[in-house]
Amino acid sequence: MKIGIIGAGFVGSTAAFAMVMAGSASEIVLVDANEALARAQAHDIAHAIPFARPTVVRHGDYPELAGAGVVVLSAGVAQRPGETRLQLLERNARVFGAIIPRALAAAPDAILLVASNPVDVMTQVATRISGLPRSRVLGSGTVLDTARFRALLGERLGVTPKSVHAHVVGEHGDSEVLLWSGADAAGMPIDTFAAQTGRPLTDDDRAAIDRGVRRAAYTIIEGKGHTAFGIAGGLARLVDAIAGDERTVLTCSILNDNVLGVPEVALSLPRVLGAGGVQQTVMPHLSDAEAAALRRSAEILKEAAASVEATL
């Protein structure tokens, strides 16, 4: 599958590299307002192809996106000193208003995959601007948060994260919800597995894992100024699922008709992902506390999106 990536900065270029190493695409085209940056990133990534699967990696302008099955949107502007979150959202919405029509003019059948933050609100903005079916406009959402949750649980339990099933839903951000009630390993509740393996989960363990998931981005940004590798892996995984029509369940964000009484809001839930984008959404089992937290997350996102959509 041919993949277009608009925005060749840290996230876009690292995602392109991850897709090359995973063999996710037959061709990747990097598009950026800074053509020299896109060219340099494409050349640098192309030099890794002998160590991976054959992939054509090049830079180009919007017409070169023709035939792309997925277009990743990782473009955006940085927050200015003293600028409010809403002002930043409004500027990024204007960026999307400029790039999405040009991308779809070249690749009208593409699925849009939003990586720009705040990803849930930007997914809602992209859906409105594009006019595409909601199933074809998805954000990376909590796919990375879910991976972090499983990684930390696996570390605590002494098993590979691939043997742990647990999800993070809601906002990709401070109000996200870790679904402890549905977490399992070896087909049994996570607490049962932990007890049987001699590694019981204490309240302190749960609190530490929650902090580790919820504060991960802050910790990484404090150390190096940005995040890239984790989200790049998540984007490559989402592209794999689409390209291979895997019909696998991943937590990603789309504009939902209604979430626990909150209408028209984009956030993450487990989705069946394959050719054509999101094929089905699954509402997981929620404890009363988790349901209340998810509703609150939806309300926060709804309020933020409503302010931006009024400017579109």
Helix (H) or strand (E) holding 2: strand 2-6
Q: Bridge partners of 56? A: 27
Closest CA to 86 of 304, 243, 256, 267: 304
Angle at 39 between CA 37 and CA 40, to 5 degrees: 65
Catalytic-role residue among 43, 165, 167, 172 = 172
Whole-angstrom Cα distance, residue 244 to residue 241?
A: 5
**285 catalytic residue (yes or no):** no
Distance from chain centroid for Cα 249: 14
Whole-angstrom Cα distance, residue 156 to residue 63?
A: 49
Rounding to the nearest 10 degrees, give the CA dihedral for residues 90, 62, 78, 306: 20
Residue positions annotated with a catalytic role: 172
